[in-house]
Amino acid sequence: MDKLKRSERLEFEQIALLIEDARNRTFQKANEELIRLYFNVGNIVAVKVSEGTWGEKTVGELAAYIDAQYPGLTGFNRRGLYRMKQFFETYSDPGFLSPLQTQLEAYFAGKQDPLIVSAVPTQLQGQELDTEIVSALPTQLTPLTALQQKLVSFILTKVSWTNHLEILSRTKSPEEKFFYLLHCIKERWSMRELRRQLSSAYFERIMLSNQKISTLSAQLPQNLFKDPYIFEFLDLPDGHSETDLERSLVLNLQKFILEIGKGFTYMGNQYRLQVGNKDYYTDLLFYHRDLQCLVLFELKIQEFEPEFLGKLNFYLEALDRDVKRPHENTSVGILLCKGKDTEVVEYAMARNTSPTMIADYETKLIPKHVLANKLHYLVEQLSKEEKD
């Protein structure tokens, strides 16, 4: 391999990319069919149980029948069948769709129906079929609305079954489920990554950061930055310094990027900026592919102080003048502090003109119910202010 010519290596890499692309599409197609199958099986089981024609004994007999017909096929035991029933009931429930209708329609806008559609979904769409080539089985399925069909085709089938089980068991509201489904698709989270985000209350942290009012927050996209950030993967000693924090984040760079988001590309720590006759060194510098801008993380192991903003703005100005390329957008600064007084932050940010965010960081997981209660309180306060 080491003796390959550069031209040969490039040609070989193109073929390897084709193979990888085909493998990914094959896996995705297999997953789509599997999720449709689970959804449709859950549909039938839900209907039969709700009608009272099937009970636990019958579901158990169905599991035994499937095992006899398809030895070695996993996932269709009694517990698995009830999970499929829950899967169908959750996402076909009008109570799930109603609060999300506007968001779902916006997400589906411009998307085209899949080119390959199995006979079962076609039957669900209410299209007339030749009864000689279609089995009677699809007639047992509950017809779906257009919105439900799109939910299955464009969202549910794009998420793995293991991730579906995590979301079903560990989320409550439709908004929270929808949030994690979309992030699984966008970020391509593995089950392990999803579990970590659920445990760190990712949804609540994103929603809390979106609710915070600041003249500056309008310049930053929603659902990208969070507050607080959770660095439970760091093994920091008591009384650690900013250097210790920075070094530990660099050593755990993969986990750090998972926490801040996969759109970030690492450019380095202690990035040198030369202004006048002096050298200045930033903490952690990234480039964000979607924002097309530099993103600077500055670290503070103490509570936020207004003077921190001055230094951060100085760095952002130097980055924009000397590092940013003409086609790129204005650099963004994230100041990570060990706590902050929200009123002090509001005063400090009131006249700040650079796209900057002040966020807390924690080195231990915050109990989910604490953040959920905080989010509920903020929503109530905002609702009250709107009424007043």
How would you write the pLDDT of the chain (388 residues) with one tens digit per residue? 556 677 777 788 888 888 888 888 888 899 999 999 999 999 999 999 999 999 999 999 999 999 999 998 999 999 999 999 999 999 999 999 998 988 898 888 867 654 333 334 433 333 443 433 344 455 577 788 889 999 999 999 999 999 999 999 999 899 999 999 999 998 889 999 999 889 888 888 888 775 443 334 444 555 567 878 888 888 887 778 899 999 999 999 988 988 888 789 999 999 999 999 999 999 999 999 888 999 999 999 999 999 999 999 999 999 999 999 999 999 999 999 988 888 898 888 888 888 888 888 888 777 766 777 767 666 666 566 666 6
Of the candidates 375, 385, 1, the one whose C-alpha atom is nearest the C-alpha of residue 172 is 375
What gap in Å lies between CA 388 and CA 379, rounded to an integer? 14
- What pLDDT is recorded for position 330? 92
- Residue 258 CB neighbour total at 10 angstroms: 18
What gap in Å lies between CA 196 and CA 179, rounded to an integer? 15
Q: Do residues 121 and 149 make contact, with C-beta atoms less than 8 angstroms apart?
A: yes
Paired tokens of 105: 């329609």
**Cβ neighbours for 197, distance < 8 A, ≥ 6 positions apart:** 180, 183, 189
Q: Determine the longest span between alpha carbons in the chain, in angstroms.
A: 84
Side chain identity at 327, as an amino acid letter? H
- Residue 208 CB neighbour total at 10 angstroms: 19
Phi, psi of 245 (to 5 degrees): -60, -45
Paired tokens of 77: 């035991």
| Strands (E) located in the chain | 229-230, 264-269, 272-275, 278-281, 284-288, 293-299, 332-337, 356-362
What gap in Å lies between CA 229 and CA 337, rounded to an integer? 10
Cis before 138? omega within 30: no
Of the candidates 283, 220, 275, the one whose C-alpha atom is nearest the C-alpha of residue 246 is 283
- What pLDDT is recorded for position 297? 95
CATH T-level fold of 202-387: Trna Endonuclease; Chain: A, domain 1 (3.40.1350)
User: Rounded to the nearest 5 degrees, what angle is found at the Cα of 113, between the Cα atoms of 107 and 116?
Assistant: 140
pTM for the model stands at: 0.66
Would you kindly state where each structural domain of the chain is located, as residue ranges?
A: 6-158, 202-387
Q: Do residues 63 and 85 make contact, with C-beta atoms less than 8 angstroms apart?
A: no
